[in-house]
Amino acid sequence: MDSVFDHAIRLGDDALILGQRLSEWCGHAPMLEVDLALANIALDLTGQATLFLALAAEEEGRGRDADALAFRRDVLDFRNCLIVEQPNGDFAQTIARQFLFSNWQELLLAEIAEAPAPALAAIAAKAVKEVRYHVRYASEWVVRLGDGTQESRGRMSDGLDWMWRFVEELFDAVDGAASLRPAWEARIAATLRAAGLERPRPMRPILGGRKGHHSEHLGHLLCEMQFLQRTYPGATW
C-alpha cells in the first residue's frame, strides 16, 4: 500500500506543475477576464501544491520542506502525471488539458477527503472546493468553443486529440483512481454532447510520469521555475 508520502508527493507535483503551466498565460490570454481566471486557477493549484508538498516533506522526515521539494529536485524525482506538463498550445489546448485533468482531480480529491489519513484528507477537503470551480470553468469553455464557430470547434477538437493520449495514466493503479473511471467518463461524455464534439479516437497511451519518466517539456519548465533557487541556493525573501 502506498504511504501518505507517496500520495502527497504525487498530488503536490500534479498541482505544482499545472499551476506553473497556467502561469505562463499571465499577460498572454485572449482577453482580460480569461487572463485573470487562469491566473486564479494557477494560484489555487500552487496553494494546493504547497500544502501537499509540506505534508510530503513532514512524512519524509529528512529535513526538507515544501520549497526544497519544489525547487531542489531534479526532473527524474518528480511524480506528476504527464498531462499536466504538456505545453499550453493555443487556448483550446489549454482548456482541453484543464477539462480532462480537473474532472479527474475533483473525483480523486473527493475520495481522498474521506480517507482514513487525517492530514491528507484535510488538504483534499479544502482543495476539492477550489477544483469544483476549475471543472465548471473548463467545461463551460469546452461547450462555448465546441458549439461556436467552425474555427473554435476545430481548435477544441484538436486540443482534445492532443491531450487524450495522456488520459490513461490518470487511471493507473496508483492512488486507487481506477475506480473513478466510470464517473469521469460520464462527466466527459455529457460535456462533449453539450458541445457537439466527438470523443477523441482511441490512442496508444503514453505513461511514465508517476515513475519519473517524463517528456522533454518538464525539463524546460523546471529550468525556468527553479532558476532562482538553483542560482542563489538558500536565498530568502
**pLDDT tens, position by position, 29-61:** 888 999 999 999 999 999 999 999 999 999 999
Q: pLDDT band at residue 105, thresholds of 50, 70 and 90? A: very high
pLDDT at 212 (0 to 100):
96
Cα 79 to Cα 90: distance, rounded to the nearest angstrom: 26
What integer pLDDT is reported at residue 173 of this predicted model?
63
CA atoms of 92 and 206, how far apart (whole Å): 21
- Give pLDDT, residue 18: 98
Least confident of 19-33, 80-94, 164-178: 164-178
The residue written with cell numbers 463551460 in the block is: 140
What's the whole-number mean pLDDT along residues 193-213? 95
- Residue of 18, 61, 62, 59 lying closest to 42 (CA atoms): 18
Q: Which domains does the chain have, with CATH numbers?
A: 4-231 (1.20.1260.10)
> Stretch 100-123: mean pLDDT, rounded?
96
Beta strands per DSSP E along 17-115: none
For residue 59, what is the enclosing H or E element?
Answer: helix 32-60
Residues 119-177 pLDDT 10s:
999 999 999 999 999 999 999 999 999 999 999 999 999 999 999 999 999 998 666 67
Q: Which spans in 61-180 are helix H?
A: 66-71, 91-112, 118-146, 150-164, 167-170
**In this structure, are residues 180 and 104 in contact, taking their beta carbons and an 8 Å threshold?**
yes
The x, y and z cell numbers of residue 50, run together, are 504547497
- Residue found under cell 487511471: 171
